[in-house]
Amino acid sequence: MDISYNRLEVLINEISLGGKIVPIKKASGEEVFLLLTHCVGVDKLFADLEYKKAYDLAVSQGFMTVEETLKLLRGRGFLLDEDDAKIKVIESKIAGQEAILEKMSRVPTNRDRVKENIETFKNELLQILCKKESYLEYSAERKAQENKYLYLSWRSAKDPYTRDLFWPTKEKFDSEEDLVFRKNVFSEYLKMSSGMDISTLRHIARSNLWRIRYLTSLKTGVSLYGIELPDYTVDQLALAYWSHFYQSVYDMPSSDSPHESVIEDDAALDAFMKAYMDERSRDNVSAKEQKKNHGVKSAWDHGETIVTKSNPMFKDVKYSPVLEAARNKDKSSISVKK
């Protein structure tokens, strides 16, 4: 992945801010710039209440649940057991290719071809899942989910200069006459709320522009984003996680650390780290077994033990002429070798 310096700076600022400024089109074609922020804390709690209210209402109005919808579709032949079988086969193929990629982590030959295979299988799986999802659009759960995200869209949309809510109340948001405008706000929030692509976040986490901030935060103890942990957005949490992940890679001993080309390749690095951790786990198990088999020796298991007068067993310990003879013999052997 190649991200320009300017684009990288924009992405870091958006993550640190917890939102982004987006041009939203009205029905007239006019663009309005809004600040869309990630919703956290109380906003999410209220959104969950909106979901429950909408779900209960949908069920009372006769909407079927996801489970009921799937049962009906299977009964009418819209969903076949063959689709479920295909999903299992494709998932098995993906797992197999990932296992192959793991073995190639130290040998980059043909790695790109295996990654292409994984991507192809994932796209096939996505097509089947999308087909299945399309049948569930009018289920009670999907209606409730729509209401939940409409609420979050309202709480997310703000004036970029004052940071006040663009619609002061939920009633004003619901009664917005420009439905195209409201729908575009809803769509933009949905895209943002799902979080940045993982490959983009990983690229940011290992970039020098971000690592300067990250390492400074580690050394000074200053909050990474200037806010408390419970207020972190999905992107802030993900970037913090990947920053710690790459720091652990950079802290590895030089004899164990992966090549830079592997670090920059997400799939290859994941495979490398899995193989590395598996090897460490086997070594730890082996060390524990070896310790268990040999046992832990006490002082009395050794050939010679010093017991002072203060020890309660001093009077019970007897001198052993056999051990003394053996000790003198060992000394003689050493003297001869010299």
Confidence of residue 94 (pLDDT cuts 50, 70, 90): confident
Please compute the mean of the pLDDT values over residues 38-56 and round it to a whole number. 95
Instruction: Quick: pLDDT tens for 108-124.
Output: 556 778 778 888 888 88
Instruction: Quick: pLDDT tens for 239-263.
Output: 999 999 999 999 999 888 888 888 9
List, as one string, the DSSP characters of 201-252.
Answer: HHHHHTSHHHHHHHHHHHHH---SSSS-GGG--HHHHHHHHHHHHHHHHHTS
Place of tokens 């993906």: 94
* Percent of the chain residues past pLDDT 70, beyond the cut: 81
Task: List the Cα angle 132/136/138 in 5-degree steps.
Answer: 155
Model confidence at 309: pLDDT above 80: no
- What does the mean pLDDT of the chain come to? 84
